[in-house]
Structure 1
Amino acid sequence: MLREGNGEPVVLFHGVTCSERVWSPLVPLLSPHCEVFAHTSLGHRGGKAAGPGIGISDLVDDAEAALDQLKLDRPHLVGNSLGGWIALELARRGRASSVCALSPAGCWDVAKSGQRQATDKLKGVVRLTRATRWALPLASRLGIIRKFAMRENAVNGARVSSQELISMADDLLGCTAKYDLLNTTEAMAPLTPAPCPVLLAWAEFDRIFPPEVNGPIARELIPEAEWRVLPKVGHLPMLDDPELVAKTIIDWVNAHSLTQQAAG
């Protein structure tokens, strides 16, 4: 687990097929203000191995065990996509002082097509990555290739470096839980009353979970949450605009600091 900085504890949870490495652009911006932990989920490259049939509760159990190992009772939790869902489920268990959920997964109606459209896009990314991984060391030097490769997840994929793109490709291909998670029929249960302050920060140009589709469901599931749209970013906003995402997190943590809660 990545760990850096001092101050209020903030734990970062990544999305499906990613790893703690996806937070690399953000950590140097957060660490002067708080103690940052970045967890790699069960069944993902660099995380604990997972058996077949893995579900959301298994990921949450693994994340909670990591909090226990670090002796973090109720840190601030930040999660993107699947990581946002994990953070919210940990909050349901009473393990969060606050949650900043960046376009969280699980906010869908399984009877409708929104979830399938999102997972079909991600499965397409898996197929493309598997077919083209051999060419990435050379091809990824071109900004237009990086932009194309990241088109589902970032507005400006060219901002991602060649090495970052290769690392993300290897994370994706090395994620043994990807098909179990992409084929899930689970959805987030209502979280009301909210067990802690929750910020739903949605990417304006999210192509995986469009704010106009999944946002209303999220707000219905967590009616007490604060809603905010992050402008000009895609599904992985920390890659498009790490400064914006860092400021969003720092402001949220400062507004709901453990010191303030103790004083209250």
Structure 2
Amino acid sequence: MVSKVSFTVDSPAGRQALSVSYERLGAGEPLLLLHGIGHHWQAWEPVLPVLAQERDVIAVDLPGFGTSPALPQGMSYDLSAVVPVLGALCGALGVERPHVAGNSLGGLLALELGREKLVRSVTALSPAGFWTESERRYAFGTLLAMRRGARMMPLPLIDRLSRTPAGRAALTSTIYARPGRRSPQAVVAETVALREATGFRRTLDAGRGVLFTSDVPGLPVTVAWGSRDRLLLRRQGVRAKHAIPGARLVRLPGCGHVPMNDDPALVARVILDGSR
């Protein structure tokens, strides 16, 4: 059952209240799951049953996405602002140094949490921040086109498209290698989440100058990349390995940019192995 937690964060206007939506299930060592830009916690649903057998899993809607409100007025979506928010979230949930797994934007945040020693292990699935400038422009242009399309389509059309494999491919093939596996309800929900994400544009703007070039020493790091990632090309995984020499680099055959849907068993195994 989805819950909300409220806590306070530092902002240019002083301490302000913030609430975050999350799903929590399972038992064991804590595992924080962070989705990508324009998505919501439900991106992790395909892997939750397996992860929850071994972990206390907390899948969150990042601020400004899903049903979590945007960051307070005056706060930026830079890494330097969002990472302390996630640290405060863990404190509010009574969790100290969880394992963390993230996808895309969430992968970048996971690595930054690792660099700040706020977590005990990191698994980053197609993390942002290892692009060239031309690759970044391509990815951002694609994301903006997806957002524009989601906002232009009336809900009845989205619903109608979601009912056929071809329609689900039209809506989600940029991020999934196997969009037909996604349920119609999930496709509608994530298209609406992309359309209504209040933090989308500010997150994109904050990411324009981001390059992750620092090592993440002192804790286990896994970087995994789908062989069919059409948004952040898999050669970026090699750059991630160069930046983080101690990281385990894993290939996800047949998976797209959001691999949890394309091969749930493989992705769950990679996350559990990375957090042991």
- The secondary structure found in structure 2 opposite 1:99 is strand
Please give the TM-score of this superposition, normalised by the length of structure 1: 0.90
Q: Among residues 40, 46, 51, which one is paired with 1:19 in the alignment?
A: 40
Query: Which residue does 1:131 correspond to in 2?
Result: 152
Alignment equivalent of 2:218, drawn from 179, 195, 200: 195
Q: Counterpart of 2:187?
A: 165
> What SS does the corresponding residue of 2:82 show, helix, strand or coil?
helix
Partner of 1:175: 197
Alignment of 1:224 with 2:246, yes or no, is yes
Aligned to 1:129, what secondary structure does the other structure show? helix
Deviation at 1:188, TM superposition (A): 3.5
More strand by share: 2
Indicate the SS of the match to 1:45: coil
Amino acid at match of 2:148: R
Q: 2:31–2:55: 8 Å Cα contact kept in structure 1?
A: yes
Within 5 Å, give how 1:208-247 maps onto structure 2: 208-212=231-235, 214-247=236-269
- Kindly report which structure 2 residues correspond to 1:71-86, keeping only aligned pairs within 5 A, or say none: 71-86=94-109
How far off its partner does 1:58 sit? 2.4
Structure 2 unaligned spans of 5+: 1-21
TM-score (norm. length: structure 2) = 0.86
Cα distance change on mapping 1:253 and 1:151 into 2, 3 Å: same
User: Which range is displaced more, 23-32 or 188-197?
Assistant: 188-197
| CA 131–186 in structure 1, closer or farther in 2 if over 3 Å, else same | same
Give the equivalent residue in structure 2 for 1:148.
170
Match of 1:215, SS state, is: helix
Q: Please say if residues 18 and 171 of structure 1, whose CA atoms lie closer than 8 Å, have aligned partners that are also in contact.
A: yes
Q: Which runs of structure 1 show a deviation greater than 4 angstroms over 4 or more consecutive aligned residues?
A: none
The letter for the 2-side match of 1:222 is I
Q: Distance in 1 between matches of 2:173 and 2:24?
A: 30
- List alignment gaps of at least 5 residues for structure 1: 255-264
Q: How many residues get paired?
A: 251
Question: Within 1, Cα distance between the matches of 2:79 and 2:32?
Answer: 18
